[in-house]
Amino acid sequence: MVKIRSIAWSLWALAFLLICIPIVFAIISFIYGFIITVPNFLYSFIFWPLDLYPLFGIISYIGAFAWWCFLGGLVLFTIHFLKKVFRKKKYKPIILKKENPIDLSKKKIIIVIPAYNEEETIGSVIKKCKSYTNEIIVVNDGSTDRTEKIAYDLGATVVSFYRNKGLGRAMRAGLREALKQNADIIITIDADGQYLAEEIDSLLDLIRKNAADLVLGSRFLGKIEKMSGIKRLGNKIFSWMVRNVTGLPLKDPNTGFRVIKAELLEVLHLSSSYTYTQEMIIRAVEEGFRVREVPITFKKRNKGKSRLMSDSAEYGIRTSLILFKTFRDYHPIALFGLIGVIILLVGILLGVYNVYESFILRCHLSFGQITLTSLLILTGIQILCTGLLADMFSSKKIRET
């Protein structure tokens, strides 16, 4: 079924590209037609209120000045938005307070390992993890091999799904079970052996010093033995997105090797049924928890192939949706406000030009022009109102979910 799904995603991506090509050409043709072939289009568009002088006299000059102020504000708003999007992000400083160190010997540490058909490596990973704690939870995500039996025989608590449900649901089930067992600190690591269990102590060190609430094992700060070009590119893109949303200089927010304080999970409510990695970080930062990274080694996979993320295209699309949803929950006014303002401004500009065509050029307006202008203005106002309402209820909603 994985191959069929991959073909489906590829066909959708191809269809999207084929649709985008004529749209781009249409936009270019529209701009060329209006700016190049229509004589003095820009001049007429900018100075049209002056043409009303025979009718309104000096009032037309006041109208022209108001029109220029509006256009100038629109240009400056656009420049400001582009600078905000493309300028280098000013990252939030990491403030290290002198805190009392944590005695980990008095804390209950539980390791959560999601696994799907990892019979060749799961045993070795569990044995190495036992150097740190005997409390190990393996989430068997519908494996059809001996993964479940090996984990059970080695003394791990096994949570099994009857069918494969994906990394996000597997991890949520494991974290939920760890909280049920009254864990104080939870460590997550993959079952394929690419993350080194021997490096758990370097992640725990920040928890021990009470310098972080969520510690990420960063592959890009450490050493990567092998990673495909597609995965590198995907990690770079999503790392950039998370950095811009959180304001933290994170290099590897997609890592599955992390240490989490239990109180962080008790506050956060992860909603993703597919990927939890980015959502956990963004929500943790928004709720005021301390997120840090330490360098780790990412080993070459010697046995089998990656199964937790079988389809890069699907992972990318779903991760983008998770980032969008999380940003929507915490910054609704910024998201809806930006979209609403852009649509509203386009509608106003089109409406002003329609007035110019009708009263100055004496052109007959079509029903489509009037309808499009009305829809754009009403849609922009509606989205702005939605953003205001969402902003009013976002804080309450986040804490009640």
Domain ranges of the chain: 104-324, 332-400
Q: What is the pTM of this model?
A: 0.65
Q: Are 285 and 216 spatial neighbours (Cβ–Cβ below 8 Å)?
A: no
Helix axes 277-286, 229-246, angle to 10 degrees: 20
- CB contact set of 182 (below 8 Å; sequence gap of 6+): 108
The token duo for 130 is: 């036992």
Task: Count other C-beta atoms under 10 Å from residue 345's C-beta.
Answer: 18
Cα-Cα end-to-end distance for the chain: 34
* pLDDT score at 379: 82
CA distance 327 to 384: 16
CATH class of 104-324: alpha beta
Give the residue ranges of the chain where pLDDT is below 50: 1, 86, 88, 272-274, 308, 398-401
* pLDDT score at 253: 87
DSSP type of residue 343? H
* pLDDT score at 259: 94
Nearest to 254 by CA among 213, 273, 226, 282: 282
* pLDDT score at 333: 67
Distance of CA 274 to the CA centre of its chain: 13
Beta pairing partners, 199: none
* pLDDT score at 316: 61
* pLDDT score at 167: 81
* pLDDT score at 69: 82
Q: In what order do the strands lie in the sheet with 214-224?
A: 157-161, 136-141, 109-115, 185-188, 258-261, 214-224, 291-298
C-alpha angle with apex 373: 371 to 377, nearest 5 degrees? 115
